[in-house]
Amino acid sequence: MVNAVVGANWGDEGKGKITDMLAKEADIIVRFQGGANAGHTIVNDYGKFALHTLPSGVFYNHTTSIIGNGVALNIPVLFNEIKSITDRNVPIPKILVSDRAQIVMPYHILFDQYEEERLGGKSFGSTKSGIAPFYSDKYAKIGFQVNELFHEEALKEKIERVCEMKNILLEHLYHKPLIDPVELLETMHEYRDMVAPYVCDVSLYLDKAIKEGKNILLEGQLGTLKDPDHGIYPMVTSSSTLAAYGAIGAGIPPYEIKKIITVCKAYSSAVGAGAFVSEIFGEEADELRRRGGDGGEYGATTGRPRRMGWFDCVASKYGCRLQGTTDVAFTVLDVLGYLEEIPVCVGYEIDGEITTNFPVTGKLEMAKPVFEILPGWKEDIRGIHKYEDLPENCKKYIEFVEERIGYPITMVSNGPGREDIIYRK
């Protein structure tokens, strides 16, 4: 059986924690899109970890962690991440890397920085991990698949061809140092040696695993609103963040995905630029940011303070719909325990009309939030394991959100740890 864990919002919903928790019952965990640009924070018996490339199942002995073909594979980051966890006494995980995954090249990272510099004030707020240049090259058909590292002559020839083109941009558009193809080939040899022990025909491996009835978990990065087709284009990421893409980015049939667990945070946060209708500012935002997540809402990769907002029913209903949600995991609810009253965004006012349907970007930028105020519960709910034991107003908050988004909240997360979870139905 294949299940997916994906985000309903702008990312940072707590997918890492939910995946780590569900990984207990899983045999295989697959990353199917994205790259080292975002991170998951996981707290478990070994300590606190920020993972960027490895799937969140690497902390269990019984799981196999897979980097699917849809991922933007940064080989040195993967290598260092494996080292960073084994250095902290986590047993050496079983890792497989798709032979069709493409490689983030050193120049992708440079082009990402140069382009943000060139755009100046109009930049995308990229994490500068090379993701946009990487996916551009993949679809322009000048990317490098992992299997190409093992064919020396063809690799050398392709590197020369690609450098010729990249160097024109470096010289004339960015005015930066050129790439030396000989040096680049040497770097590719290093990458080849780092990745060689893990390379696998992943779709074949998963086909066999599915037939054997193995429990497979697909782990998404970011959330619906960062999807290049259905998100807040162009302030999106460059690979699809939707569960449907899990089939492509892992190489499995779409009908094998049985459960889609969409992670939704009890308030909103976002990184990077772009419309964010329920955003709050000033002291109100600072306090939520300080108390948020596990040790504050700051980027796992960049340390940047995240933009904060109240829960947005319009964006989350849309986010859950596009994922094809079967279950909602409602996370970080414990953080809201300090509030007397909790505003919830229940509609958008656009041109004098109120809607609960998430609009295209141009309209989104004009939208004003319509808030409804719910009473807070003023209590620490960490440590509670049964739904009935939650304070009355807390249950009302959950049920209000569930009704507005229209998808069942089957899990409530009330703390960063594996055991901080309340199953509902």
Closest CB to ligand GDP among 237 and 414?
A: 414
Specify the residue, 262 or 413, whose C-beta has the smaller distance to ligand GDP. 413
CA 26/CA 62 separation, integer angstroms: 8
Catalytically annotated residues: 12, 40
DSSP-assigned letters across all residues of 102-169: EEPPHHHHHHHHHHHHHHGGG------SSHHHHHHHHHTT---BGGGGG-HHHHHHHHHHHHHHHHHH
* Closest CB to ligand GDP among residues 56, 278: 56
Q: What's the closest the beta carbon of residue 222 comes to ligand GDP, in angstroms? A: 7
- 209 within 8 A of 217, measured Cβ to Cβ: no
Looking at the Cβ atoms of 256 and 294, the one nearer to ligand GDP is 294
Smallest distance, Å, CB 238 to ligand GDP? Answer: 17
For 72, the 3-state DSSP assignment is strand
Tokens standing for 408? 């069942």
- Please check whether residue 262 is in contact with residue 320, taking contact to mean a CB–CB distance below 8 angstroms: yes
Q: Please, how many CA atoms are within 13 Å of residue 413, restricted to the half-sphere of its CB?
A: 27
What does the binding site for ligand GDP look like in residue numbers (CB under 6 A)? Answer: 7, 11-17, 38, 40-41, 43, 293-294, 300, 331-332, 334-335, 413-416, 420
Instruction: Look up residue 91 and give its DSSP letter.
Output: P
Closest distance of CB 265 from ligand GDP, Å: 8
What amino acid occupies position 278? Answer: S
Nearest to 206 by CA among 327, 16, 75, 26: 26
CA distances from 277 to 225, 227, 353 (A): 12, 17, 15
Shortest distance in whole angstroms from residue 17 CB to ligand GDP: 4
Cα 354 to chain centroid, rounded: 30
Please, which residue, 193 or 286, has the CB nearer to ligand GDP? 286
Comparing CB distances to ligand GDP, the nearer of 179 and 422 is 422
Task: Give the residues across from 65 on adjacent strands.
Answer: 29, 95
What is the smallest separation between the CB atom of 218 and ligand GDP, expressed in angstroms? 14
CB 328 within 8 A of CB 408: yes
CB atoms within 10 A of CB 371: 14
The nearest distance, CB 359 to ligand GDP, in angstroms, is 25
Rank residues 17 and 321 by Cβ distance to ligand GDP and give the closer one. Answer: 17
- The phi and psi torsions of 324 (rounded to 5 degrees) equal 80, 45
Q: How far is CA 363 from CA 163, 288, 358, 404, in A?
A: 41, 27, 9, 21
